[in-house]
């Protein structure tokens, strides 16, 4: 894996202004992704992970949403300084996105072939004949044995798993540097899930690109990711290699997530769920946002939001239990 930084997100704040209230959906997020890396962004729904990915793509509905602060740099270029026209080029050429529900992303009135060919004609200047040929190749690559037929079909003629594979082919059609996959396998059965995840890894290796995978499923993380960012209350609460996170989780929220993960090896094991729910983004508690659900909470936890600190090399955690260990936030 190369250590070349591909994406840097610095101090990102994305707020929603609704009915006189401010929902701080993403509230000071910092991370980076290297070329060749697969990074997972995990957390329960409402933790801010999808808003983070939509902020990177600048697909936040505005109003009511707004990126208030921060920088999002792709190969050093700040995407937030680009015009919508320039950003459309980035979305077509540099960053591919796979959404959770492919039916809403595919246009029902165009064939699969037309939809695959269009961005290649538009963004890569390919002629229509070559783009059609490439569409067939891409469909074969994502596992359609009769791709010549599939290009003539419409989205409703395909199963959910097939549509998701079409979305991967579409996201790959411009050889993106970064593939963002938001819950890419949630609606699929386990066998198809595994195929889709393998396919994404193959594509990443082939193009030396990187993947940001957004998921609430730690099983998916264990299978795919080099590094994990755990999000809670619009902030990253732990950032570690996947190996460290699974063997040595530190933040009480991460520990809770791991304890609630089904262990297929032990069917009788009772799963512990984390009590309570993610607080609404317009009404975070004072201090640590996890405090109302944390069994280690103490008075000091409610006084100030803990900083994200490097507790061990390349292992950052936002919790006062670790404040005496390790260094300051970088
Ligand atoms: Fe729990 Fe306190 Fe750590 Fe927050 S800072 S996770 S409440 S121990």
DSSP conformation letters of 244-297: HHHHS--SHHHHHHHHTS--TT-TTPPPPPPSS-PPPTTSPPSS-TTGGG-TT-
Distance between CA atoms of 199 and 87, rounded to whole angstroms?
Answer: 27
User: For residue 189, which phi and psi values (nearest 5 degrees)?
Assistant: -75, 165
Alpha carbon of 99 to ligand 1 centroid (Å) = 33
- How buried is 327 (Cβ within 10 angstroms: 0-12 exposed, 13-18 middle, 19+ buried)? exposed
Alpha carbon of 300 to ligand 1 centroid (Å) = 9
**For 83-93, what is the mean pLDDT?**
88
Mutate which of 43, 292, 294 for ligand 1 pocket (most atoms within 8 A of beta carbon): 294
**For 57-79, what is the mean pLDDT?**
94
Q: Which atom of ligand 1 has the smallest separation from the CA of 252?
A: 6
- What pLDDT, on the 0 to 100 scale, is given for residue 217? 84
Place of tokens 């989780």: 249
| Residue 266: band (very low, low, confident or very high) from pLDDT cuts 50, 70, 90 | low
How many CB atoms lie under 10 A from the CB of residue 33? 23
Cα dihedral sign for 271, 240, 229, 202? negative
**For 203-227, what is the mean pLDDT?**
87
Q: Most confidently modeled of 163-167, 192-196, 308-312?
A: 308-312
What are the residue boundaries of the structural domains of the chain, listed by start?
5-94+176-328
Distance between CA atoms of 23 and 61, rounded to whole angstroms?
Answer: 14
Q: Which atom of ligand 1 has the smallest separation from the CA of 295?
A: 1
Mutate which of 275, 301, 317 for ligand 1 pocket (most atoms within 8 A of beta carbon): 301
**For 196-220, what is the mean pLDDT?**
85
Sequence-distant (≥ 6) Cβ neighbours of residue 10 within 8 angstroms? 30, 70, 71, 72, 73
* Both tokens assigned to 188: 């699929």
Share of the chain above pLDDT 90, in %: 58
The tens digit of pLDDT for each residue in 133-181 reads 999 998 988 889 999 999 999 999 998 888 888 988 888 887 889 999 8
pLDDT at 123 over 90: no
Q: Which atom of ligand 1 has the smallest separation from the CA of 253?
A: 6
pLDDT at 322 over 80: yes
CATH of 5-94+176-328, one of 3.30.2320.80, 1.10.1740.10, 3.40.190.10, 3.40.50.300: 3.40.50.300
- What pLDDT, on the 0 to 100 scale, is given for residue 197? 82
| Residue 264: band (very low, low, confident or very high) from pLDDT cuts 50, 70, 90 | very low
Alpha helix stretches (DSSP H) within the chain? 49-57, 84-93, 102-105, 112-124, 128-141, 147-150, 160-172, 190-207, 218-224, 242-247, 252-259
Lining residues, ligand 1, CB within 6 Å: 252, 288, 290-291, 294, 296-297, 301, 306, 319-321
Distance between CA atoms of 2 and 231, rounded to whole angstroms?
Answer: 25
3-state secondary structure of 98: strand
| Residue from 11, 13, 52 nearest 182 by CA | 52
pLDDT at 26 over 70: yes
Alpha carbon of 30 to ligand 1 centroid (Å) = 20
> How far is residue 329 CA from its own chain's centroid?
23
């Amino acid at each position: 894996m190369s250590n070349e930084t591909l994406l840097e997100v610095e101090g990102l704040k994305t707020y929603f202004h609704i009915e006189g209230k401010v929902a701080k959906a993403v509230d000071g997020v910092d991370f980076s992704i290297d070329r060749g890396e697969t990074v997972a962004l995990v957390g329960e729904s409402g933790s801010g992970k999808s808003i983070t990915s939509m902020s990177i793509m600048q697909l936040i509905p505005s109003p009511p949403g707004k990126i208030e602060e921060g920088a999002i740099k792709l190969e050093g270029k700040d995407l937030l300084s680009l015009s919508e026209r320039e950003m459309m080029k980035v979305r077509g050429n540099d960053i591919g996105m796979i959404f959770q529900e492919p039916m809403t992303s595919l246009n029902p009135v165009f064939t699969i072939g037309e939809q695959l060919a269009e961005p290649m004609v538009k963004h890569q200047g390919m002629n229509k004949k070559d783009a059609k040929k490439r569409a067939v190749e891409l469909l074969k690559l994502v596992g359609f044995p009769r791709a010549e037929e599939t290009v003539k079909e419409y989205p409703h003629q395909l199963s959910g798993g097939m549509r998701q594979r079409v979305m991967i082919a579409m996201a790959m059609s411009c050889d993106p540097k970064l593939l963002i996959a938001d819950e890419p396998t949630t609606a699929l059965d386990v066998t198809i899930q595994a195929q889709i995840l393998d396919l994404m890894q193959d594509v990443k290796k082939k193009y030396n690109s990187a993947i940001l995978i957004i998921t609430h499923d730690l099983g998916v993380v264990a299978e795919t990711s080099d590094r994990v960012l755990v999000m809670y209350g619009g902030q990253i609460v732990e950032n570690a290699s996947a190996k460290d996170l699974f063997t040595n989780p530190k933040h009480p929220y991460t520990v809770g997530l791991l304890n609630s993960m089904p262990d297929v090896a032990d069917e009788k094991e009772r799963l512990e769920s984390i009590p309570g729910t993610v607080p609404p983004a317009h009404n975070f508690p004072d201090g640590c946002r996890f405090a109302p659900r944390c069994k280690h909470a103490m008075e000091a936890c409610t006084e100030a939001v803990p900083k994200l600190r490097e507790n061990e090399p390349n292992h950052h955690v936002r919790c006062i239990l670790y404040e005496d260990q390790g260094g300051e936030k970088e």
